[in-house]
Amino acid sequence: MSDVLGPGPKTRVRRLAAKANYERDVIFAVIDEAPLCHVAAIVQGNAMVIPTLHAREGDTIYLHGSPSNAVMKSIVERGEACVSMTLFEGLRLARSGFESSITYRSVVVFGTATLVSDDVEKARVLDLFVDAVLPGRASEVRAMNDAERRLTMVVAVAIDEASAKLSSGPTDDPDEDLDLPVWSGMVPARIHYGTPIPDTNGAMAAGTIPVPASVRRLLDGQ
């Protein structure tokens, strides 16, 4: 495998090309850290975008949804998908509005979309989604049953091309702005997980089921 996923005809970054990156490792890190993605499709002749969960395995991004989901149906019918993941990482406050922005890492992926119809493969991929939301969780929950699997459409998007755009500090103020009496700098942002809120139904109501290892690792790791 090559170490880069672009640039190709669809993914060459023109604006702020200095922020562009096509390295597989950089792109995969953004995909894997993002808790969700946005998927575009052509629906009734118009472009449409929806948020959804994703899981990555190798050069494939998996998406899932209801079999009636118009975006999922469209990407399977056309055999193509465009997916974007964006990590908001803080504020990048320059001395001018023009140079001010956020810090972020984002990717845009173009891929070949195919329906995952094999039951065994589908069951395997559905576990990937559970672990993508919270690593290790799939082994803690009740296994999926046939009815649940039938209610879910799974789509594999084989990455054809991808680009990342990375914006971090410091600010890019032009020289003539540097001595302005305006505060300039970064305010870092990250996702913070708070105290788990246990369900109060069924066996959980007794308070005897401990917080699982998956959640403890998430909280200990932050």
- What values do phi and psi take at 100, rounded to 5? -80, 145
189 near a second copy (CB under 8 A): yes
Q: How far apart are CA 188 and CA 130, in angstroms?
A: 29
Of 190, 41, 52, 49, the C-alpha closest to 132 is 52
Task: Name, in order, each residue with C-beta under 8 angstroms of 114's C-beta and a sequence gap of 6 or more.
Answer: 76, 79, 155, 156, 158
Span of 20-28, 55-63, 99-107, 114-122 interacting with a second copy by CB under 8 A: 99-107
101 near a second copy (CB under 8 A): yes
DSSP state of 69: -
Closest separation in Å from C-beta 158 to a second copy: 15
Binding mask 49-78 for a second copy (x = CB under 8 A): xxx-x-----------xx-xx----xx---
Closest separation in Å from C-beta 143 to a second copy: 8
DSSP state of 14: -
102 near a second copy (CB under 8 A): yes
17 near a second copy (CB under 8 A): no
What part of residues 146-185 is at the interface with a second copy (CB under 8 A)?
A: 148, 151-152, 169-171, 173, 177-185
112 near a second copy (CB under 8 A): no
Q: How far apart are CA 220 and CA 192, in angstroms?
A: 11
CB-nearer residue toward a second copy: 118 or 135: 135
